[in-house]
Every structure is written in C-alpha cells, then in structure tokens.
Amino acid sequence: MKKVKIAIALFSVLLLLAGCTSAKQGSGTTPASTESPSAPTASAAPEESPAAAKVLNLGKDVELASMDSAIATDGLSFEVIAATTEGLYTIDENRVPQLALAEKVDLSEDGLRYTFTLRDAKWSNGTPVTAKDFEFAWKRLVNPETASEYSFIAGVAGLKNADAIIAGEKSFDELGVKAVDDKTLTVELECPIPFFNSVIAFPSFFPVNEAFLKEKGTEYALTPEALLANGPFKLKTWEVGGTTFYLEKNNDYYDAGSVKLDGLNYKIIKDTQQSVLAYENGDIDYVALSGEQIASYQQSPEYHSVLTGFLWYLSPNQKVPGLENINLRKAISLAYDKTAVVDEILKDGSIVADFVVPQFLATGPDGKDYRETAGSYPSNNKEEALKYWEKAKAELGIDAIELELLFEDTESATLVSQFIQSEIETALPGVTFTLKSQPKKNRVELMYNGEYEVGLTRWGPDYNDPMTYLAMWTTDNPNNFGKWSEKAYDELADRVSRGDLASKPEERWEALKQLEAKVLEQAVIFPVYQKGNAILIKPEVTGVNLGSIGGSISYKLADKQ
C-alpha cells in the first residue's frame, strides 16, 4: 500500500510540474536581471523602470572574483572595480594616461617626487575622497596582512621602499607615499620611472576609505553594502555565487553629467555557444566570442576585435639536454606557420608575433609606437629551419630528439599546441613532440619549477613600457622559466630600468631595442601570436571604450539607443 501512495505522489508531482510549466511560461522568458530571494545582498531590483532605463546587458564567462582593489587579480574584477572607482589617472582609448581624480601634478627636477593635487570628489556615502584614502590604499597594498597578490606592482611603480617592504625588510608604513593635507598627495620614487603615470592608473592604486573599511571589517568588499564607489557606477546587487550582478549609475560621481547609461547588468554564462544564443535572443548586448563561433560572425557589423597586450610564446627550457643548443632552438622557432595559427585557428583578431614587445604597447620618446621603429625578425621559414636542424644534429651528435610540449587545457591553447606539434614534426624530421595538457595553475607551477621541456605560455603587460616584457629574461627574474642567462643582457637591462639610462629617454629606447634583438637572436623564446579578443556588440550600443593595452574596458561614455 505504501508503494501505491508513493507512486501516486510521484505522478501528482509530475503533473504539477507539467502544470506549472505551461502556466509560468510567459514570465520566465523576460530577460532576467534579478534578485534572488535567498541572497542576503539583494536589494531593489534594476527593473524598477524597465522601459525607461538604459541598461546595458553584458555577458561574461567568469564570476566576479573580488571587488577589493588590493585583492583582485583577474580581468573582470578589474573591469568592474574600474567602473565603480577612479584613481589618479585613467587610460584613454589612445592609450594615453589622463588625469582623473588628480587635478594637477608636479614632478620634481630629479624625477623622484610627484605631488598630486586632488579634485573635489565624493564617495557614494557622501564623504569626500581625500589624499589620505590614497595613502591608506597604497600602504594597504604592500601590507603583509593584506596579502595582496598584486603588491609587486608597487615595486614596478618604483615607490620608495616598496621592494624592501614586500621582502619583509621594512615596515609597510615606510612606503614613499604621504598625504600632506586632504588635497595633496606626495609620492617618492626609488628612481625615475618613465611609465609611472600609466602604472598608477592600474586599479591596485585606487583609493580606499579607511574609516569605511575599518567599520566593515572582514565584510569589506564582499557585499554591495560593504563597498564605496567614487566612479561612474556603483554596485547595486551582487548575489553571492549568483549569475548576475548589477551596477547602477552613481549620481555622486563628479562627472555624472557625462554618464548616459542608467546601469550595467552583468550575466555570467560560461558556455560560449549558449551565450551567443542568448545574444541572438536579445538577452545580452555584449558577448565575447571564441573558437569557431568567430568565423560565422566575422562579416557581421556587430563584430569587433580588440588587440590585447598578451603575447603567447613557447618557452624552451635551457636545462633540457638539446635545448641549450641555439641551432635547435632556432630551427624550432622557424618551423611553424604563425599565419595559419592566427587566420585559421584563432581568427579572433590575434596577430602574428615575430617579436617580444607587443604592438601598441608602448610609445617612445619620438611619439611613435615601439614596433614602428624596432627591428623586424624572421617569421616562418621551413627551409631555413631545416638547415638549423641539420646543424644542431651535427653539433649535438643526434639524429632525433623527443620533446614534451606543456600547455594549459583551454580550447585555444590545445588547438594551437596540436597545430604547432604537427608543423614542427613535419618540417623537422626527427623532432617529435609529445603533448602535455594541464590546468593553468599546474602549468604555471611546473614552469615555475623548471619541470618542463617546452611550454606554451603567455605574458600580459603590467605597464606601458617594453621592460614589462624584457625584464623577464634577466638571470634572477622568477619568470625566466627557461633559465636563459647572459651577463651583458642583465647589465643592460639593469641600466635601462634603474641605472644611468633611466633618465635618458632616447638612449634608453635604443637599448630596449637591443635587448629585444638579443632575445630573438638567441631564440630565448619562440613568439607565436599577440592575442586579440573577438566580441559582438549590438548596433544600438555606442560609446563603449573597448579597452586597449594596459587599460580595461570602460562604459563611462557608453549609450544605448
């Protein structure tokens, strides 16, 4: 008898399910920019005036990891932090740093002391943004208690004592930044840094209000209520682990007049095919494309591609027998067709990289892009590669070599690695590659420990200067995975970053070109491509600054008809 009851219950639930389905169908199809009843952080929904509101719906493929500017490490977090907070500078679409919260800046004769004067600006709780907020935020960045993964950037900016503080030799209080009064901030540097303005436009240098942070304690930046904004938008809803979060226009922003949107509605959709369907459906106005999706949209007027500063390259481990041989390295570096990689596999606007320093990364003292005046290097030449391989065989006394190619398990890395493997094996008879795919964190760990043979890896710029790349191949740099080392290179690199050349822009620029030439002549790395991002944006959306190298996407001036 019991079974009968259970069976009846099962079937009635089933009927109920079917019933609800048809009844509720209509309401479910409306684009859902919503709050969850269970989420503690949800407050008023963005659809208070759905018809009138100009809300941009954005599809993203990762969760919002952190809203704390000292803790965040990923692109989306930085994008949202930059939408809600402003620092001393912002980077405009021509990659030029523009004053933002700073109204005026003075630089001392020796280039070691900056004095910023702040404009009148308010936090979203009404308190003014002061120089103390900057001093607090910067010291918090290097404070070991914060344990920021991005604290190294204080050293990159050349802030006085930053490196010593991070190494644990000095107290974080000794960082070279000081609020003279509410409006004046002085910054002291270890040495002149030519790209200082662009580094401090980075979100890690955004201000944080000390009183507010202390009040919220460990809750800080974990809920919309525990966050302050001084930028064009403020976080309104953010479900813990939810698939949506919503930013609304911040009326306390000093330049609120030029913000035309009422809000930004982010939706997290991890599957690209599904997000493209959602885009086609009109649920979202912006979507990033990947893989084969790109080919079918390339002709569309809604298609855009943005070149990023990420360089993907192969790193040969010099400690692996065989790879210490320059002719073998050169043979491999010339043996694969990069044009096919960008045109046939990636198709996302990535460009062939025969270089180390990416295009549009840095502008020289002559006002031209680094790549315009730097040398050009051979790309893909299979006959030449074969000659080098013959030479290498003679020198090493071998007929064949088997190497392992380490890469991360993303779709594009997997395809590119397989293609490169096939290209090299065809071009250089006797060279065989086995493929080793690992999750990204493990891939980095293996390379960091030198437990790899050839690795497909990438590097993104921290600031708009060639040294963000070229510093990597100095002997002691932890990111010199391949352990290539040359004394002359180290010395020149040191002069460029901290030595006599730091204050001579033209000579420094030439030295940078020499460094790059060295890396390529020695085949220290085998560049593959400079990454582009393919996206779709609805035609009625205008004014989005799609971001450029060193600056993230900005919606401040965006509009939707």
Can you give the length of the chain in residues? 561
Nearer to another protein, 71 or 392 (CB): 71
Q: Whole-number minimum distance, CB 253 to another protein, in Å? A: 26
CB 341, min distance to another protein, A: 9
Least distance in angstroms from the C-beta of 233 to another protein = 20
- Choose, by CB under 8 A, the member of 178, 183, 387, 458 that binds another protein: 458
User: Residue 212 corresponds to which tokens in the numbers above?
Assistant: 């507010």
Instruction: Identify residues 84-143 at the interface with another protein (CB under 8 A).
Output: none
In the block, residue with structure tokens 């966050």:
227
Give min distance, CB of 487 to another protein, in A: 23
Closer to another protein by CB, 435 or 517: give it.
Answer: 435
Give the Cα-Cα-Cα angle 38, 42, 47 (nearest 5 degrees): 115
Helix H or strand E segment including 351: strand 351-352
In the region spanning residues 466 to 525, those forming contacts with another protein, defined by CB under 8 A, are: 478-479
State the minimum distance, in angstroms, from the CB of residue 172 to another protein: 11
From the CB of 75, what's the least distance to another protein, in Å?
Answer: 12
Residue 111 falls in which region: left (phi positive, over 0), alpha (psi -120 to 50) or beta: left
- Of 118 and 519, the one with the shorter C-beta distance to another protein is 519
The pair of three-digit structure tokens given for residue 171, joined into one six-digit string: 């107290």
**What gap in Å lies between CA 469 and CA 549, rounded to an integer?**
13
CA 95, 506, 472, 431 dihedral sign is positive
- Considering only residues 42 to 81 of the shown chain, the ones binding another protein according to CB under 8 A are 63-66, 68, 71-73
Judged by CB under 8 A, the chain residues 7 through 26 that form the site for another protein are 7, 10-11, 13-14, 17, 20-21, 24-25
Mapping DSSP to helix (H, G, I), strand (E, B) and coil, where does residue 513 land?
Answer: helix
# residues contacting another protein (CB under 8 A): 105
User: Is 218 in contact with 141 (CB distance < 8 Å)?
Assistant: no
Name the strand (E) or helix (H) holding 27: helix 2-28
Chain residues 246-305 in contact with another protein, contact rule CB under 8 A = 267-274, 276-278, 280-281, 283, 291-293, 295-296
Shortest Å distance, C-beta 63 to another protein: 6
Give the nearer residue to another protein in terms of CB position, either 113 or 458.
Answer: 458
Based on CB atoms, which residue is closest to another protein, 250 or 293?
293
Q: Which amino acid makes up residue 467?
A: M
> How far out from the chain centre does Cα 497 lie?
23
141-160 positions binding another protein, by CB under 8 A: 144-145, 147, 149-152
Closer of 208 and 501 to another protein (Cβ)? 208
Contact pattern from residue 418 through residue 457 relative to another protein, giving x for each residue in contact according to CB under 8 A and a dash for the rest: xx-xxx----------xxxxxxxxx-xxx-x--------x
Q: What are the distances in angstroms from CA 30 to CA 21, 24, 50, 241?
A: 15, 11, 11, 22
Site for another protein in 371-410 (CB under 8 A): 408-409
Smallest CA-to-CA distance from 454 within 432, 429, 477 is with: 432
| 3-state secondary structure at position 97 | strand
